[in-house]
Amino acid sequence: MLAPHGDTVGVEREKWSVDPFAGLVKNGYVYGRGAIDFKGGIAVFTQAVMELGEHKVPLKRDIILLIEADEEGGQYNTSWLADSNWSKIGCEFALNEGGWTMKLPDGKVRYISISTADKSSVTLVVTAHGTSTHSSMPRPDNAIFRLANALEKISRYDTKPELTDSTKQFYLTLAKTSEPPMSTYFYNLARSKHPALVKQADDEISKNVLLHAIMRNTIASVFLQAGFRGNVIPGSAVAPLNFRTVPGTKPEELIAEIKQVINDPQVDVGPPPANAGGAMLAKYMKLMQGIEESPPSTKLYQAQEKNADSLWSAPVTPTCFKPELMLSPDGAAVFLCTVCTLTQSRTTILHECMATTRRCRWSPWKQERSGFITR
């Protein structure tokens, strides 16, 4: 099954220089929300299926093209689809968005990564407490200020690297395809037993936000909720935090870790409230905790390795990044692949500043994209 996601996040239109949903073509690029993530991929997967039909390619199994309605955690995501309609799917393998084909400035492909495991998306709520009173008589225990202090501590905190077997192999591949001193940093991150060398490697590698995120649990503040009148100091202030966690991380471990960072008895850290939205989120997090890595020994992964070698003569490595969920009663192997070649600098805009203009170069990728999928 080819399963790209069709949804995109919302926009702050005032921060866009073009209509985010017009798909403006300018100077060889498509400008718009989701041009890279993941409308371009939908076009590639669809073109691949169309070419199979047009050329009457003999198939040993069915190929399903499914455009997902929810990428991460929505009510009608792929978990819902698999639970409700597995009899119509029944696939052994699925290809989704993820991984990347990284090229050098001269255009030569450096390596191809295929995501074989997913990070989980975990939401925890930080709640600061204080005395609710009139704004004309402020007290030292202001809940908003207390929350701000807690968030400031979290903003200065970074979790430790936690490498899985897949991410170790990923960084070792980077070591083999990099020049010194970065090759040494990548190797030390994956292999060194010396804390000082690992710390140095972490500091240098983390200058790239993508590589920083792959190696650890990440923390993002995404909402703030406080106050209800301009002349009342609220008794509480709330900040939901979104974590993207390495496989095997338990929510209770995150709670203990963040509590220790904040170190304030008047600030609580816990799961979302048990309302309808919180219940759906809790179900999603529980499902994500049960996901196992798709083994590179499967036929689909090996076919991608073979294709990548014939197209680009570059090493292929497994990796682990953001959640792309596909659960099934039969445990279909899911692999997240790229549909285009990217430079190192381009990876930083894949999910950077979701309100700014997205660019997707169109014509140069057509032959590579369709070939990678269909051959």
pLDDT digits (tens, 9 = 90+) for 109-142: 999 999 888 788 888 999 999 999 999 999 999 9
In the block, residue with structure tokens 């500043």: 353
List the structure tokens of 341: 């070649």
- Partners of 340 in beta bridges: none
pLDDT digits (tens, 9 = 90+) for 220-266: 999 999 999 999 999 999 999 999 999 888 888 999 999 999 999 99
Cα–Cα distance measured from residue 143 to residue 152, given in angstroms and rounded to the nearest whole number: 14
Mean pLDDT of 191-214: 96
The most confident of 108-112, 175-179, 284-288, by mean pLDDT = 175-179
Position 189 scores a pLDDT of 98
- Contact call for residues 86 and 78 (beta carbons, < 8 A): no
Name the DSSP letter for residue 35. I
Position 104 scores a pLDDT of 85
Residue 193's CB: how many other CB atoms inside 10 A? 7
Whether the predicted model's global pTM rises above the 0.95 cut = no
Please give the share of the chain, as a percent, with pLDDT higher than 90: 50
pLDDT band at 336 (very low <50, low <70, confident <90, very high): low
Cα–Cα distance measured from residue 241 to residue 223, given in angstroms and rounded to the nearest whole number: 8
Cα–Cα distance measured from residue 170 to residue 98, given in angstroms and rounded to the nearest whole number: 14
Cα–Cα distance measured from residue 138 to residue 117, given in angstroms and rounded to the nearest whole number: 50
Mean pLDDT of 182-190: 98
- Partners of 123 in beta bridges: 242
Sequence ranges of the domains in the chain: 13-100+112-118+298-374, 120-159+218-245+248-288, 165-214
120-159+218-245+248-288: CATH number: 3.30.70.360
13-100+112-118+298-374: CATH number: 3.40.630.10
pLDDT band at 363 (very low <50, low <70, confident <90, very high): very low
DSSP states of 283-327 as a string?
HHHHHHHT--PPPTTSHHHHHHHHHHHHHH---EEEEEES-----
